[in-house]
Structures are given as C-alpha cells and as structure tokens.
C-alpha cells in the first residue's frame, strides 16, 4: 500500500482520528498553502527527477524553515530512495518526500506519539519555560483545560513574577478553565511561588501542578540560576519531579525559535517542546528542524485560538496537514 493511501486510511478509520486530521488540516492551512503550491509548481516544471529538481526542492524546504542541516540530510535520503525505486516521474516524488518527513521525526514510521509524562500514583509537576511573548501563559491555560477534561485535578503556579500582567493573565485563565492559581505579589521570588504551589497541590490532592516561569533572557547565567533554583525547590519536595520541562516556542519566529531552543536546552533539561501559533505561519518546517537538529520531541502544537486548539503532536497528522489537498485529489 502506498504511503499516501496509508495516511488516508489512518485518518478515516475512526471518528477520533478524523477529528485530529481535520484540526491539523485546518490549522496548517498557511503552511500547506505555501509548501504544497511550491511543491506542485516544482513537479509541474520538471517532467523528470534530476539534479536541478533536487536543487529547487532544497530551496523550497529551506524557505519552509526545515533547517539547512535537516534539508541536506533529507535531500541525500531522497536521492537514494529515488535511485533505489528507480523513480523517473517527478509526481511520484511527492509521496517519497512525505514519507521521509515522517521518518525524520520518528526515526521509525510506526513509532508511537510521545505522551505527556503524567504520573498515575502521585502529583505530577510540569514546568513551562520560554521567553516572553511566545504564548507560554496561554499554553498553560489550554493545557489545564485539556488535563481537566481528562478528569485530572489541576493547580497552576504563577511563577512568572517579573513580567507585568503575567500573574493576572494566569488568573484569568484559571477562572476561565475553573482551576486554582497559586500566586504571590509581582516581583516575588519565583522559587517561593513554586514551593507554595507544590504544597497547595499536595494538600488539595491535585493530580497535576502546572508551573509558569519567568521569560527573561538577558543572559544564560541568570536564566540558568533561576531555573536551577526552581528545580531544586521542586526536587526537594518531590524527588522525581519536575516530570516534564516543556519549552514553549513561537512557530512564527522560525530560526529564532531554534536558537531559543538551543539556549534553554543548555540551561535546563528540556524534555519536550510546545510549538505555538503553527496556524499563523507558512514555515511549519521548523517542527522537523527542532526534532532532527536538537533531538527534542515536539509534544504539543498550537493550531488556533480556541481553548481546544492545543493538540498533541503527531508527525503523521502533521504530514497529512501538509499534503491534505494532494491526498484528497488522489
């Protein structure tokens, strides 16, 4: 069975899968509009697959923020696959491209989607890090809603005590999704807020504590010291925690998001990435660059403004979102 047929079958077999594919299709309209039209134009220009074809494809992938190192690797693999399958027709290369994009992300086509590390038998602590303006507080609010819908008791800790309005913004989200927010006054020690959050979550028998942190990035030393202090406080109370350190990045900033990811992964043990505003960019290839070049999984993506638009990342659904028009035309 061809890869495109497998994708179509996967996302039409049950209601839940269809719902996921529709969210990706809708949320990735900008990226698809740019990427698919360029790929279609390329295929229309070239009857046969030659060196010029691959050079133009390389340019398209780089302009989609897939990342230079990842693009070079992908082009080499595509050339080998085209040779192996003896593909002459440029139309057939589209399917090979889609398959290779999934492989870059998973390494193995059948690998499972990365789940959020939520403990079953004790309080789970999830730390959110990232610079100001990437949608960190909004992501925490949406995550709280998602976990609450799954039957979890959630508490938020307003550890971003330095950004004007950050505490109030988290409180608004707390009210909106119906979860308690632990806070101190603006300018307070973030580690003290997180400590109180842990104590409150324990005493109220919460399942998950979501912790906001400051997003200042003047220099790595300050960032490292602050995050280390917060982590020490958490570890002292719950030795295995934090169970996740999620780095929130804005997909619309492209390669700038890559440099933020590098800085934060040097400063703290980032276990996963939440890529916000994927619906607002034509350069969704950044997902693949992050995974391939930093080896950090993208665990969630933001596909819209609604509270339900924070989606677990699935590379198959991502590729479906990229190629939906082509798939439906088949």
Span 292-330, pLDDT tens digits: 778 888 999 999 888 988 999 888 888 888 877 766 655
279 annotated as ligand-binding: yes
* Domain identity same for 251 and 124: yes
CATH code at position 17: 1.20.120.140
Question: Can you give the three-state secondary structure of 94-112, one letter per residue?
Answer: HHHHHHHHHHHHHCCCCCC
Does position 202 have pLDDT exceeding 70, yes or no? yes
* Domain identity same for 106 and 221: no
What is the model's pLDDT at position 276?
A: 92
What is the model's pLDDT at position 70?
A: 84
Does position 155 have pLDDT exceeding 90, yes or no? yes
Q: Give the tens place of pLDDT for each residue, 14-48.
A: 677 778 888 888 888 888 888 888 888 888 888 88
Element (H, E) at 129: strand 124-129
208 annotated as ligand-binding: no
47 annotated as ligand-binding: no
CATH code at position 124: 3.40.50.300
Domain encompassing residue 23:
3-111+320-329
Q: Give the tens place of pLDDT for each residue, 161-192.
A: 888 889 999 999 999 999 999 999 988 889 99
214 annotated as ligand-binding: yes
- Between 104 and 208, the higher pLDDT residue: 208
Report the C-alpha gap between 29 and 68 in whole angstroms: 24
Mean pLDDT score of the chain = 85
- Between 215 and 29, the higher pLDDT residue: 29
What is the model's pLDDT at position 328?
A: 60
* Domain identity same for 35 and 162: no
* Domain identity same for 209 and 308: yes
Q: How many domains does the chain have?
A: 2
304 annotated as ligand-binding: no
Q: What is the mean pLDDT of residues 157-162?
A: 91
* Domain identity same for 141 and 275: yes
Closest by Cα among 201, 192, 288 to 243 = 201
The DSSP 8-state label assigned to residue 119 in this structure reads -
* Domain identity same for 128 and 153: yes
What is the model's pLDDT at position 168?
A: 94
107 annotated as ligand-binding: no
133 annotated as ligand-binding: yes
Q: Rank 40-54, 109-123, 201-215, 268-282 by mean pLDDT and report only the highest.
A: 201-215
Contact assessment for residue 292 and residue 319, using Cβ atoms and an 8 Å cutoff = no
* Domain identity same for 293 and 325: no
306 annotated as ligand-binding: no
* Domain identity same for 159 and 290: yes
* Domain identity same for 97 and 124: no
What is the model's pLDDT at position 248?
A: 93
Q: Give the tens place of pLDDT for each residue, 217-270.
A: 555 667 778 888 899 999 999 999 899 999 999 888 877 888 888 888 877 889
* Domain identity same for 225 and 169: yes
The DSSP 8-state label assigned to residue 252 in this structure reads G
DSSP annotation string for 257-310: HHHHHHHHHHHS---EEEEE-GGG-S-TTHHHHHHHHH---EEEEE-SSSTT-E
278 annotated as ligand-binding: yes
196 annotated as ligand-binding: no
Contact assessment for residue 302 and residue 135, using Cβ atoms and an 8 Å cutoff = yes
* Domain identity same for 47 and 125: no
What is the model's pLDDT at position 206?
A: 96
**Spacing of C-alpha 168 from chain mean position:** 25
* Domain identity same for 132 and 86: no
223 annotated as ligand-binding: no
134 annotated as ligand-binding: yes
Q: Which residues touch 144 (CB under 8 Å, ≥6 apart)?
A: 154, 156, 173, 174, 177, 179, 210
């Amino acid at each position: 069975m061809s890869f495109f047929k497998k994708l179509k079958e996967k996302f039409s077999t049950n209601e839940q899968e269809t719902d996921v594919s529709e969210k990706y299709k809708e949320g990735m309209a900008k990226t698809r509009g740019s990427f698919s039209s360029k790929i279609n134009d390329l295929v229309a220009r070239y009857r046969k697959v030659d060196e010029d074809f691959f050079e133009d494809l390389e340019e398209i992938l780089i302009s989609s923020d897939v990342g230079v190192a990842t693009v070079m690797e992908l082009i080499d693999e595509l050339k080998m696959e085209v040779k192996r399958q003896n593909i002459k027709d440029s139309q057939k290369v589209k399917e090979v491209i889609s398959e290779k994009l999934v492989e870059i992300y998973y390494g193995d086509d059948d690998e499972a989607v990365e789940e959020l590390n939520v403990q079953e038998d004790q309080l789970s602590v999830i730390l959110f890090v990232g610079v100001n303006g990437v949608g960190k507080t909004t992501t925490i609010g949406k995550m709280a809603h998602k976990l609450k819908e799954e039957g979890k008791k959630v508490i938020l800790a307003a550890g971003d005590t330095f950004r004007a309005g950050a505490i109030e913004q988290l409180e608004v989200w707390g009210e909106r999704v119906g979860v308690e927010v632990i806070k101190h006054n603006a300018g307070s020690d973030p580690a003290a807020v997180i400590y109180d959050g842990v104590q409150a979550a324990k005493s109220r028998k919460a399942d998950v504590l979501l912790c906001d942190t400051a997003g200042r990035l003047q220099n790595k030393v300050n960032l490292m010291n602050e995050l280390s202090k917060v982590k020490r406080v958490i570890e002292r109370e719950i030795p295995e925690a934090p169970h996740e350190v999620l780095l929130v990045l804005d997909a619309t900033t492209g390669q700038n998001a890559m440099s933020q990811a590098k800085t934060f992964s040097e400063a703290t043990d980032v276990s996963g990435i939440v890529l916000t505003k994927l619906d607002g960019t034509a350069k969704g290839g950044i997902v693949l660059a992050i995974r391939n070049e930093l080896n950090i999984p993208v665990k969630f993506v933001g596909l819209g403004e609604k509270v339900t638009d924070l989606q677990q990342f699935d590379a198959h659904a991502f590729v479906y979102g990229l190629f939906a028009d082509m798939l439906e035309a088949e």
